[in-house]
Amino acid sequence: MGICESSCERLTTEEVPDLEYDFLIKKDDKKDGLDIYKPKSIINYSSQIKCPLCKYKLSREEYSIIDNILNVGNENEFLNLIYEYNKEASRIDILDNINILESIYIKIKNYSKILENNRYYKHKCQRINNQEIYIDIFYSSIIYNFDKELNIDINKLKTDENYKINYINNKRSEYIKYTKKKKKIEIENKYINEFEEKNFQKEKHDFERITMMIQHLYENEKERQPKYDNNPYLVPIDMKPDPLGIYFAHECNFRFSITKKKLKEFIEDLTNEKIYGYPIVMYDWEKEEFKKFILEREPEYYDYLNID
């Protein structure tokens, strides 16, 4: 529990109360006979707290104490641990991750104790008759009942065999899909470079001819740009050729996605500008050719054709 007997900051010519300050709301219940004020949302910085009675900032000493409390344990970190736990519980790339869940759960439990021990900060306002109040540093009520926020009961996983079997079985079908998809990607990655190089060779001659022409035209266009060095009163106008326009003017000369990718990269290097928003992927007919290409080399791939 944080306790500070120091007053609110002494009034200076620059200081005025924040009469609209309503971040801390008075609760119906009390602690040790004193009123409790609770924040409207999670406190990220001590500066969010002002005295709810006089509406002035707290003293530097009090802000320092609250900063230390937030450094030791804050709600965002606590909620991140709960998110991490639920994310781990929903993983489909591993069936039995009970030990991992337990280690995260221990962190959550220990962290909740830290928050519980530090959540009420005692403040005395000397401007309002030395009135004492408690400021609840933490917004969320799940500090006390965080188990309700966890999608999987770790205690049942460890003690209830049926609960554990159901947990694993519920993930099994997704796990099988995941492993098959992973295997499919591994096989495709094994052959993609060979397939794309084979296709590029079919269009290599045209690619070299067209890129040579593009480079020639681009350099000539740059030379034709007006020079303003000797006339300080003229404002230069950027008339550089548009990389996307160059790409669209020539990509229709090629069938295969790999050649289009190389064309895009060539234009980006030539103009020193990136072409955004136009990802180049295989056409459906090209995907079918890729499947046949793999099957000729690895018949096992047939078992993964329907996996998306």
Please name which of 298, 271, 97, 273 lies closest in space to residue 194, comparing C-alpha atoms. Answer: 298
Q: What is the DSSP string of 75-89?
A: HHHHHHHHHHHHHHH
Q: Where exactly are the structural domains of the chain?
A: 2-159, 172-224+236-304
The region, left, alpha or beta by phi > 0 then psi within -120 to 50, assigned to residue 210 is alpha
The region, left, alpha or beta by phi > 0 then psi within -120 to 50, assigned to residue 206 is alpha
Average pLDDT, the chain: 89
Query: What pTM, to 2 d.p., does this model score?
Result: 0.73
Half-sphere exposure for 171 (CA within 13 Å, toward CB)? 19
pLDDT bucket at 226, cuts 50 / 70 / 90? low
Could you tell me which residues come within 8 angstroms of residue 10 by beta carbon, excluding any fewer than 6 positions away? none
pLDDT bucket at 2, cuts 50 / 70 / 90? very low
- Helix, strand or coil for residue 217? helix
CA–CA dist 149, 184 (Å, integer): 36
AA identity, residue 295: L
Q: What pLDDT score does 221 carry?
A: 75
AA identity, residue 188: E
In whole angstroms, how far apart are CA 259 and each of 17, 193, 243? 68, 13, 16
Contact between residue 152 and residue 168 where contact means Cβ atoms under 8 Å apart: no
DSSP tag of 46 = G
pLDDT bucket at 64, cuts 50 / 70 / 90? very high
CA–CA dist 58, 159 (Å, integer): 50
Q: What pLDDT score does 79 carry?
A: 94
Q: What pLDDT score does 232 carry?
A: 54
Contact between residue 203 and residue 256 where contact means Cβ atoms under 8 Å apart: yes
pLDDT bucket at 228, cuts 50 / 70 / 90? low
Q: What pLDDT score does 34 carry?
A: 97
In whole angstroms, how far apart are CA 203 and each of 94, 197, 262, 281? 44, 10, 11, 17
Residue with the two structure tokens 């602690």:
31
pLDDT bucket at 78, cuts 50 / 70 / 90? very high
Q: What is the DSSP string of 250-291?
A: HGGG--SHHHHHHHHHHHHHHHT----S------HHHHHHHH
Q: What is the CA radius of gyration of the chain?
A: 33
How do residues 275-293 score in pLDDT, each as one tens digit?
998 899 999 999 999 999 9
CA–CA dist 205, 202 (Å, integer): 8
For residue 148, pLDDT beyond 60: yes
Please name which of 137, 139, 147 lies closest in space to residue 81, comparing C-alpha atoms. Answer: 147
pLDDT bucket at 208, cuts 50 / 70 / 90? very high
For residue 180, pLDDT beyond 80: yes
Backbone phi and psi for residue 193, each to the nearest 5 degrees, phi listed first: -65, -40
